[in-house]
């Protein structure tokens, strides 16, 4: 039975969670997870560069076939959503550099994939990620658990990864 490595990313400017899941058939196991932390004291460009470089380092180390990433949730705080969007962009560029197929999922779709309801709270997601991946303890911090959940969501939504084919464009788009 063939296996593949699936990466999950929970983007955020202060905390970007990442997780690596090994899928063999229907069996999922956790390879690694972590969280990239930046502080408001750092210049924005340095924070985004750190996210880009560290996601790139994870990609280079684990060589995932595909990535599941959380989309932006606006809610009531547009400023926070904008910062998350910038962090998400840095992570997506790292994925593009690694030529990795990316699946994008809403927070509620990710929660639905792991908990069975799109309105699950953080603790429910952490608990179910640990159960699905056979972990002895719940992944910490919650950003890393959310990233593992994004990887799990990819496995339930995308099926088989296909290589990314570069697009060649000539002239303006009409």
27 CA to centre of own chain:
19
CB 36 within 8 A of CB 18: yes
Alpha helices (runs of H) in the chain, residue ranges in sequence order: 44-62, 78-97, 107-114, 122-133, 142-157
Q: Is 157 within any annotated ligand binding site? A: no
Q: Is position 143 annotated as part of the catalytic site? A: yes
The active-site residue, picked from 15, 142, 143, 146, is: 143
Please tell me whether 143 is known to bind a ligand: yes
- CA-CA distances (angstroms) from residue 97 to 20, 25, 60? 18, 28, 10
Is 146 annotated to bind a ligand? Reply is no
| φ and ψ of 59, to 5 deg | -60, -45
Q: Which of 15, 70, 142, 146 is catalytic?
A: 70
* Cβ(94)–Cβ(146) below 8 Å: no
**CB-hemisphere CA count at 13 Å for 60?**
8
**Active-site option among 10, 15, 142, 146:** 10
Could you give the 3-state DSSP secondary structure of residue 29? Answer: strand
Q: Which residues are annotated as part of the binding site?
A: 10, 70, 143
Q: Which residues are annotated as part of the binding site for Mg(2+)?
A: 10, 70, 143
By annotation, the residues acting in catalysis are 10, 70, 143
């Amino acid at each position: 039975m063939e296996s593949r490595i699936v990466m999950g990313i929970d983007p955020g400017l202060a905390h970007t969670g990442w997780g690596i899941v090994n899928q063999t058939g229907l069996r999922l196991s956790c390879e690694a997870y972590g969280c990239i932390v930046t502080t408001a004291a750092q210049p924005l460009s340095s924070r985004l560069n750190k996210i880009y470089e560290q996601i790139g380092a994870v990609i280079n180390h684990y060589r995932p076939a595909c990535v599941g990433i959380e989309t932006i949730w606006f809610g009531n705080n547009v400023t926070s959503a904008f910062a998350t969007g910038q962090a998400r962009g840095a992570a997506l560029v790292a994925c593009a550099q690694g030529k990795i197929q990316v699946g994008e999922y809403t927070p509620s779709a990710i929660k639905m994939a792991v908990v069975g309801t799109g309105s699950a709270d953080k603790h429910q997601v952490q608990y179910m990620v640990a159960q699905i991946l056979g972990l002895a303890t719940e992944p910490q911090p919650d950003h890393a658990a959310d990233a593992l959940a994004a990887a799990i969501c990819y496995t339930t939504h995308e099926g088989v990864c296909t290589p990314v084919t570069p697009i060649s464009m000539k002239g303006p788009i009409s």
